[in-house]
Chains A and B, each alone.
Chain A
Amino acid sequence: MLLKTKRVNIIGPGRVNLMFMNSVVLVGVLLTAIPFIYMITASFRQQGELYSLPVTIMPREWHGHNYVKLFGDTNFVIWYGNTIFTAGLRTALGVYFAALAGAAFAKYEFRFKRFFFFLVLATLTLPFQVLLVPLFLMMRDFGWVDTYWAVIVPGIVVAFNIFLMRQYIESVPDELMDAARIDGASEFGIFHRIILPLVRPALGVVAILTFVNTWNDFLWPLIVLHDDTKYLLSIGIATMDGPYDVEIGAIMAASFLSTLPILIVFILMQRQIIAGLTQGAIRG
């Protein structure tokens, strides 16, 4: 008890100080939130209000016609479906493959292990953009342009995810795996019935990060998808002002609706996601 009061005296800031610090944090939060709020309110504004004075954050009148236009005149719903499909498939396969490789590095001894792990680290440092041109030529040779193969397959195994999975799987007790072996379990059985259930929280984190990355990916889909009905949300929203002649309000509506699921998932799982992401960086 004594120690506790003393501690507060040493490091506890004064009341004025604390109020100042709290308001700085609050200002930071506000500055971060304003563009989001502006996006949402802009999507409910009447045509032309965004190009008139005075500039306000709140609409003068709330209108829903941007949403009507978005659903009526554009392929927004199709893009949404395309994005859910590709991001979902890529996430499911990607997480599974990353977990397999992570398990190999964390729990098995084999020849060239160090070399293979070096390969994983090497892909982390190679910027993806170098590969853009030859990868596109390859997709064309495969006949994959304008198909989702091109979006899903090339980036399916993410080195960073292998790295994360390896770290998590290392914490699975060896004794548990050995006990299963004595009971006659196969190595695949051990992977599916012991390793995967034990690292489920980590799988969730890796899955969400992969999903968000695919959801937001722009440059690569822009290169391999040219047909409007094949578009993903990012390309659809980026090019919406062209063929559809929609106003910025409708673009804001599309932006809001496309960001919503990501934000909701993140709000629900923020603690795990941030911990998962930052863990690697602290360890160095």
Chain B
Amino acid sequence: MSASILTTREKAQHLSVSDWWSRNQRKVIPYIFLAPFLISFLVFTVYPAGAAFFLSFQRVRGFISPAEGGGVVLEYKGLDNYERLLTKDKRFRTAIINGAEFAIGTVLIQMPIALGMALLMNAPHIRFKVLARLAFFAPYITSAIVVGWIFTLIFQDRYGLLNAALSMFGIEGVGWLTNKAFVMPALIILGLWTWCGYNSLFFLAGLQNVPDDLKEAARIDGASTVRVFWHITIPFLRPVFVFVVITGLIGSFSLFSQPYLLFDSGAGPGDSGLFPVMYLFFMGFENFRMGYASAIGYLLTAIILLITGLQLLLFRLWRV
């Protein structure tokens, strides 16, 4: 008797829950759909970002042995880490300057070539389009480590492919990875090989988005090819420029794997291949100065946000 009452009650409860669910499903479900993102965002982004901020004002005083539970002993040092990085630390300055040089080299050299290649690939009656698309994307999806190893061979002094190719034109080879002055050009060449074709595919996609009838109309009105290019094509490519320039700049400051491999887990002759993220890695995971490394991380973020903001502002001003 009592058992049957219980089951009816259970049934009623079950019914009301499923009833409520069927009525409110649509309101609740988006939060369930978003749950994995929100949880991972809180645990693996918000919390570490806060912890890094906290750490950046600390100094590691010592380590607790694993037998006693492990961990680090921290000491509050105020703005010491930041002050040191901004005023005293020459290596950090070198890393930032290298990042900037690579960024400028990348934008100034890569961008025009990538755009030129895209224009060629977009021209009518051009052959090898499929082949070119394939080839230009391949370096981008190749592991940076693999790229690094290939280029250690190519950049060799005596037996390197690049110097051998130069000597065919009567140019004497240089120590691409051993001569301080040629490290940056070598890295820019490597960057050119890796990202130029990739960027040209973005330009190509942008070019294919320019309405043909607009260009044709302008031509019928007597506009020259140069004018059509300048006043119709380029403005249509604005979002591509924004994307390519900003990702290029961010990538320049976060360069890690390729120089790390080229310089055998080091920073190259006289720190000529040292980049900000590499410096963060060396400080945090080789010297275990975790507070200092976190401060580097925050300064780097500030620099990247500043540059991105400036770029967006510049591009906003460029409205044709």
Residue of A108, A133, A153, A162 most packed against chain B (CB within 10 A): A133
Q: Kindly identify which residue among A36, A258, A270 contacts B143, using a CB–CB cutoff of 8 Å.
A: A258
B142 at the A/B interface (Cβ < 8 Å)?
A: yes
Alpha-carbon separation in the docked complex, A188 to B26 (Å): 10
Whether the Cβ atoms of B44 and A21 lie closer than 8 Å is no
Contact B36 A35 (CB under 8 A): no
Q: Which A residues are CB-close (under 8 A) to B145? A: 216, 218, 234, 237-238, 255
Task: Please report the number of residue pairs spanning A and B whose Cβ atoms sit closer than 8 angstroms.
Answer: 284
Chain A residues within an 8 Å CB radius of B186? none
B37 at the binding interface (Cβ < 8 Å) = yes
B164 x A134 contact (CB < 8 A): no
Chain A interface residue count, CB cutoff 8 Å, equals 99
Q: Measured between C-beta atoms, what is the minimum distance from B115 to chain A in Å?
A: 13
CB <8 Å contact, A132 and B238? no
Could you say which of A25-33, A59-67, A68-76, A197-205 contacts chain B? A25-33
- 8 pairs of A and B residues whose beta carbons are closest in the complex: A284-B239, A278-B205, A55-B164, A134-B51, A130-B297, A104-B33, A134-B48, A281-B243
Q: CB-defined interface of A136-162 with B at 8 Å, one 1/0 digit per residue?
A: 111010000000000001111100001
**Of B78-86, B88-96, B132-140, the one touching chain A:** B132-140
How many chain B residues touch the partner (CB < 8 A)? 99
Q: Using CB atoms and an 8 Å cutoff, list the residues of chain A in contact with chain B.
A: 7-8, 10-13, 18, 21-22, 24-26, 28-29, 31-36, 38-39, 42, 50-55, 57, 97, 100-101, 103-104, 108-110, 113, 116, 119-120, 123, 125-127, 129-138, 140, 153-157, 162, 186-188, 191, 212, 215-216, 218-219, 223, 233-234, 237-238, 248, 251-252, 255, 258-259, 262-263, 266-267, 270, 273-275, 277-284
- Within the complex, the shortest CB–CB distance from B109 to chain A, in Å, comes to 14
Query: Are A57 and B36 touching (Cβ within 8 A)?
Result: no
Judged by a CB distance under 8 angstroms, whether B170 is at the interface is no
Task: Pick from A24, A251, A281: contact of B205, CB below 8 A.
Answer: A281
Bound CA span A76–B302, Å: 40
